Amino acid sequence: MLDAISRAVHGRGYAVCVEGEPGIGKTALVDAVVTAAMTAHPTIQVVRAVGVESEFSLPHAGCSTCSLPCWTGCTIYPPDNGTR
């Protein structure tokens, strides 16, 4: 994760997947790394998503969660159906 932070600070976005058995400290690890990154680099943007087992077979299921912050302040127009 520290490599991902270094890349992001230098303008190269990066994704990290943390997985493992329930209760081993995945969330605590990510929380600690994100807190340290945001303290050291206040302008860094961190996007987090949580996967659920029921979505495992859906490709890119977490993408919508990750992309939501990117849509803040955007106007969503309906698709052009050729009537304009």
pLDDT in tens, 56-69: 787 777 676 677 76
Domain membership flag for residue 10:
yes
Question: What sign has the CA pseudo-torsion 53, 59, 62, 65?
Answer: negative
Domain boundaries, position 53: 2-71
Confidence of residue 83 (pLDDT cuts 50, 70, 90): low
Domain membership flag for residue 84:
no
**Considering only 21-30, 32-41, 45-54, 65-74, which range has the smallest mean pLDDT?**
65-74
Domain membership flag for residue 77:
no
Domain membership flag for residue 83:
no
Distance CA 29, CA 16 (A): 12
Question: Structural domain tally of the chain?
Answer: 1
Domain membership flag for residue 81:
no
What is the model's pLDDT at position 84? Answer: 53
Is residue 24's pLDDT more than 90?
Answer: yes
Sequence-distant (6+) residues with CB within 8 A of 62 are 49, 50, 51, 55
Domain membership flag for residue 40:
yes
Domain membership flag for residue 76:
no
